[in-house]
Amino acid sequence: MRLAAARWQPRVLPPTVHCPPHRATLRRHGAVDQKAITKAHLKTYLRLAKARIAKNPDSEAWTTLDARWRALVDHAEAILAARAAGRAGSRFERSAANEVVKLAQEVKPREVVEVTCAVVMLWELEPQRFRSDRAFWLQLARRVRGVTDVNYGERWDNVRQRVRRTYRELTPRASLILGRWLAETLGVGGQHG
């Protein structure tokens, strides 16, 4: 007796549907239940990162991390130069590269190293603050971008009748790329060993 061959049907999962506020939170923070990591949350860890650097200022680790930041800047400039030369590439990667170059023009390498180390320390010592790796990478990108005022704009608020500062968002994919670059390049400085 011959059994009828069962046709294989791929399992199709329903699309993830969120209401507009949760969709905005997912886009901005990396998870629907992720809260923003603010400067206030990071203050203690930034102090710890600076204390770690001050405790051993002659360590090669800090100059190595500064050099790794400069190497990341060189990589970003190469991506932008390739685009200027007409080569194809990911627009999200170009956007992340543009942010790295803007940061390099505005802040010292050590500031980027300190903030990255502080966010990594927060992730290690309070992992419950991050709902996922994606949320960590997006929050890392946001905090590092927040070091400079280049990423803020101003708009007129008709209700309050005053000028308000607004944060200029990166696309989620560009933020994800930037966060991964920072974590891979500089994150080792914030790890406890």
Provide the residue ranges of all domains of the chain, joining segments of one domain with +: 35-190
Tokens describing residue 25 = 């939170």
The CA angle 40-73-96, to the nearest 5 degrees, is: 65
Residue 141 and residue 175 in contact, taking contact as beta carbons nearer than 8 Å = yes
Side-chain half-sphere of 62: how many Cα atoms within 13 Å?
A: 15
pTM as predicted: 0.82
The one-letter amino acid at 29: H
From first to last of its 193 residues, the chain has per-residue pLDDT tens of 444 444 555 555 456 677 888 888 888 888 888 898 999 999 999 999 999 889 988 889 889 999 999 999 999 999 999 999 999 999 999 999 999 999 999 999 999 999 999 999 999 999 999 999 999 999 999 999 989 887 777 888 888 898 888 778 889 999 999 999 999 999 887 775 4
